């Protein structure tokens, strides 16, 4: 039996090899949980190289494990250390298990990868299952094209892990918009554990810093252009700049935030082009992007999960230009959002014709906000997650049935 404690503990595993998506989602959930329960502490396990650039609320902290990065050929390598990837993964796995052993969480939330990066979470999952700790897998609304996801999860042996370890699977979306595991042959017992929470509502941070003091950036008058982390956002930024270079006087002011993972030489080149334009401004990175979202007239983005949640939360007209490689996630989300009238989509299939982008940007200024479409439960995600966490915390480990191999109680 676990010792009684006045304070409850939540451990979150954030699958981070590149980009900002997983970290920002897990951080938002952590902040929401501690805001709703003053007796709760949350610890995030993350390999993000820039996690230290973000602010964390009281009773939220993180353990930074050695980073890895995925190459274009699909192979992983150590991000900063000159050591073999297997050694890096062994270090990560050991740190995570030891952290879980000492922290002794009352619930574990795993983001996206059922077994972690290349199975690195399995020792931790085995430890916590033996202790009777409830374990939850959190999935975004769209994972990938069903055939691609089925092949990937079969290779990773992920489907058996759902039965073996997880008490529940939380989908941060709605079934009428997308089923992230569509097309996968799941056991009925696993399907019964899936709970759709709604999208995760975002808020402007209370201590948000003031927005950049640019004379052209008047609240409600500028378009915010964001490629998320920026590692694969060159095409979007180039296309927007080309539109302003050709049709600039007709277009509203724009603020482009490159993202921390865009190559420095690309940022420099884009910034130089923007400086020659009277109504385009640039930032390298903004950790509190929410306050810029809230001020903007409209959003131009690639359509990652977090950005989509912010578009809905701040009720902003949006133009989504989704990537289609290496995953179709953004395209599927953008296509469904466009079908429902929640956002507009501009497929990346026009050879970056500046006139096409300029027309889409002008149309964006006339577009209705997402709230014009009524979707019940659309932004209930944070409230649902808090309610689900509290349910598990109330039950207590001693009374909770443990899952055995095969997922049977």
Q: Please tell me the distance from the alpha carbon of residue 152 to that of residue 147, in angstroms, as a whole number.
A: 9
The total number of residues written for the chain in this structure:
409
Q: What is the pLDDT of residue 246?
A: 96
H and E: helices and strands count for the chain:
13, 15
Nearest to 16 by CA among 229, 276, 284: 229
What's the gap between Cα 370 and its chain centre?
A: 20
Nearest 10 degrees: CA dihedral of 108, 114, 120, 125? 40
Residues 6+ apart with CB under 8 A from 349: none
Q: Please tell me the distance from the alpha carbon of residue 209 to that of residue 4, in angstroms, as a whole number.
A: 40
Domains of the chain, start order: 8-201+379-399 (3.40.50.2000), 223-372 (3.40.50.2000)
Under 8 Å between Cβ of 79 and 67: yes
DSSP state of 304: -
pTM: 0.90
Q: Please tell me the distance from the alpha carbon of residue 130 to that of residue 403, in angstroms, as a whole number.
A: 9
Q: What is the pLDDT of residue 19?
A: 60
Q: What is the pLDDT of residue 395?
A: 86
**Which tokens in the block code for residue 311?**
């578009």
Q: Please tell me the distance from the alpha carbon of residue 165 to that of residue 160, in angstroms, as a whole number.
A: 9
Q: Please tell me the distance from the alpha carbon of residue 152 to that of residue 158, in angstroms, as a whole number.
A: 9
Q: What is the pLDDT of residue 396?
A: 72
Consecutive 10-residue runs of the chain (409 residues): their mean pLDDT? 75 77 90 94 92 89 86 67 86 96 97 94 97 96 90 91 96 95 91 97 70 61 90 92 96 93 93 96 86 93 94 97 88 95 90 94 97 96 97 75 49
**Which tokens in the block code for residue 227?**
């490629």
Under 8 Å between Cβ of 358 and 250: yes
Q: What is the pLDDT of residue 364?
A: 97
Helices 264-275, 234-247: inter-axial angle, 10-degree rounding: 10
Tell me the β-bridge partners of 374.
Answer: none
Under 8 Å between Cβ of 162 and 186: yes
């Amino acid at each position: 039996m676990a010792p009684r404690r006045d304070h409850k503990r939540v451990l979150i595993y954030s699958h981070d090899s590149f980009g900002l998506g997983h970290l920002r989602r897990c951080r938002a959930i952590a902040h929401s949980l501690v805001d709703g329960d003053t007796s709760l502490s949350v610890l995030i396990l993350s390999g993000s190289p820039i996690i230290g650039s973000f602010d964390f609320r009281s009773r939220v902290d993180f353990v930074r494990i050695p980073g890895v990065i995925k190459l274009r050929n699909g192979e992983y390598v150590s991000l900063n250390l000159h050591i073999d990837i297997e050694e890096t993964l062994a270090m990560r796995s050991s740190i995570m298990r030891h952290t879980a052993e000492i922290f002794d969480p009352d619930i574990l939330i795993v983001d996206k990868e059922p077994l972690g990066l290349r199975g690195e979470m399995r020792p931790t999952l085995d430890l916590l299952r033996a202790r009777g700790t409830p374990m939850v897998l959190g999935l975004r609304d769209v994972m990938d094209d069903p055939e691609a996801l089925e092949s990937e999860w079969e290779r990773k042996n992920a489907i058996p892990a759902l039965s073996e370890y997880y008490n529940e699977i939380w989908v941060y979306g709605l079934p009428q918009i997308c089923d992230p595991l569509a097309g996968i042959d799941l056991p009925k017992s696993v399907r019964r554990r899936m709970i759709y929470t709604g999208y995760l509502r975002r808020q402007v941070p209370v201590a948000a810093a003031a927005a950049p003091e640019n004379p052209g950036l008047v609240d409600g008058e500028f378009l915010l252009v964001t490629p998320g982390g920026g590692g694969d956002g060159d095409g979007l930024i180039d296309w927007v700049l080309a539109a302003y270079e050709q049709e600039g006087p007709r277009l509203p002011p724009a603020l482009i935030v490159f993202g921390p993972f865009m190559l420095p030489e690309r940022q420099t080149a884009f910034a130089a082009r923007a400086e020659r334009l009277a109504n385009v401004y640039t930032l390298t990175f903004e950790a509190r992007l929410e306050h810029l979202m809230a001020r903007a007239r409209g959003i131009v983005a690639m359509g990652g999960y977090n950005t989509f949640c912010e578009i809905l939360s701040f009720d902003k007209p949006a133009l989504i230009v989704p990537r289609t490689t290496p995953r179709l996630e953004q395209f599927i989300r953008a296509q469904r959002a466009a079908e429902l009238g929640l956002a507009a989509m501009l497929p990346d299939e026009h050879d970056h014709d500046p006139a096409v982008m300029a027309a889409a940007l002008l149309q964006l200024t006339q577009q209705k906000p997402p709230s014009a479409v009524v979707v019940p439960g659309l932004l209930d995600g944070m409230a649902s997650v808090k309610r689900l966490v509290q349910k598990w915390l109330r039950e207590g480990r001693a009374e909770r049935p443990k899952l055995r191999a095969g997922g049977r109680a």
